[in-house]
């Protein structure tokens, strides 16, 4: 989730076992991230795509 925060996403709310992130600037995107220790590969790929970045960009964000 910290990688999405580096992109400017903020926690909007928590709903059950999911965290809703939103980006405050256009395009106003929302991401629903599972609040689990590990996220399934396919789920992560979908979140990356919905954030509008590539897997390589995400990997660079995670590595810092």
Q: What is the pLDDT along the chain (64 residues), one digit of tens a residue?
A: 789 999 999 999 999 999 999 999 888 899 999 999 999 999 999 999 999 999 999 999 999 7
At CA 55, angle to CA 8 and CA 47, rounded to 5? 55
The answer, yes or no, to whether the previous bond of 38 is cis (omega within 30 of 0) is no
- 14 phi, psi to nearest 5 deg: -115, 130
Give the chain's domains with CATH numbers.
2-63 (3.30.920.30)
Report d(CA 3, CA 9) in Å as an integer: 9
Nearest to 4 by CA among 39, 51, 55, 40: 51
* pTM (2 d.p.): 0.87
């Amino acid at each position: 989730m910290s990688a999405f925060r580096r992109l400017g996403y903020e926690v909007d709310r928590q709903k059950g076992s999911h965290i809703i992130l939103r980006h405050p600037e256009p395009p106003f995107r929302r991401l629903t991230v599972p609040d689990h220790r590990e996220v399934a590969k396919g789920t992560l790929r979908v979140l990356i795509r919905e954030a509008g970045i590539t897997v390589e960009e995400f990997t660079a964000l995670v590595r810092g």
